[in-house]
Amino acid sequence: MKLPLVAKPLVVDGTAKSHELFLAYDEFSLSELEPPLGLQEFVNHGGLLFKIYIVGETIKVVSRFSLPNISGHELSKVDGLFRFPRVSCAAASADEADLDPNIAEHPPRSLLEKLAGELRLRLGLNLFNIDMIREHGTKDVFYVIDINYFPGYGKMPDYEHVFTDFLLSLVQNKFKKKPAVPLEE
């Protein structure tokens, strides 16, 4: 893996710290972190991530502010560890922000439908969310950086209607699968 690395503590003192991130600029700084933790190569992504909510067949995308880009010049001057407390959890929606369209454009619908369908099949889940980023300066290079089963849906637009429709479809599908009982004459 290439530096810098995003370090995401998994559990600290029995408490999940999944929204706290660190950016490790050098190998020495990694020894300052307490395992267990997940490590990912940092990818410049325009400071924006896409939270993709899947509820059955419904897919909703919400843009959130994320870690800022890091230039090669900055990398040469910085070492150590930088802490980002509660990055995605506390981040405000970026959907209404005046952003560069090349950064703010949502991932293609066809990509999201294929990805959601494959994950539904492989994971056996109907309720989950994906955090995805687009590599800065590209149009079609995306990375899935996190998958959450049954995430909080409170920040998803129209979540009440989406959940109601999803639950109704479950009930309707259950009744469609039951064999018809013949009526006695």
Residue type, 173: N
Neighbouring residues of 5: CB distance < 8 A, sequence distance ≥ 6: 23, 24, 30, 39, 40, 41, 42
Closest by alpha carbon to 30, among 69, 3, 50?
A: 3
Q: What was the pLDDT predicted at 66? A: 87
At residue 113 the predicted structure's pLDDT band, cuts being 50, 70 and 90, is very high
* Separation between Cα atoms, residue 24 and residue 14, nearest integer Å: 23
Residues 19 and 88: beta-carbon distance below 8 Å: yes
Domain ranges across the chain? 5-169
Higher pLDDT pick, 110 / 80: 110
Q: What was the pLDDT predicted at 25? A: 86
Residues 102 and 139: beta-carbon distance below 8 Å: yes
Higher pLDDT pick, 83 / 64: 64
Average the pLDDT over 112-133 and give the result.
96
Q: Does the pLDDT value for residue 126 go beyond 90?
A: yes
Average the pLDDT over 80-88 and give the result.
69
At 133-164, the pLDDT tens digits run 999 999 999 999 999 988 888 888 889 999 99
Residues 5 and 29: beta-carbon distance below 8 Å: no
- CATH code, residues 5-169: 3.30.470.20
Q: Does the pLDDT value for residue 90 go beyond 50?
A: no
Q: How many CB atoms lie within 10 A of CB 160?
A: 9
Q: Whose structure tokens read 């929204």?
A: 19
What pTM did the predictor assign? Answer: 0.80
Average the pLDDT over 112-134 and give the result.
96
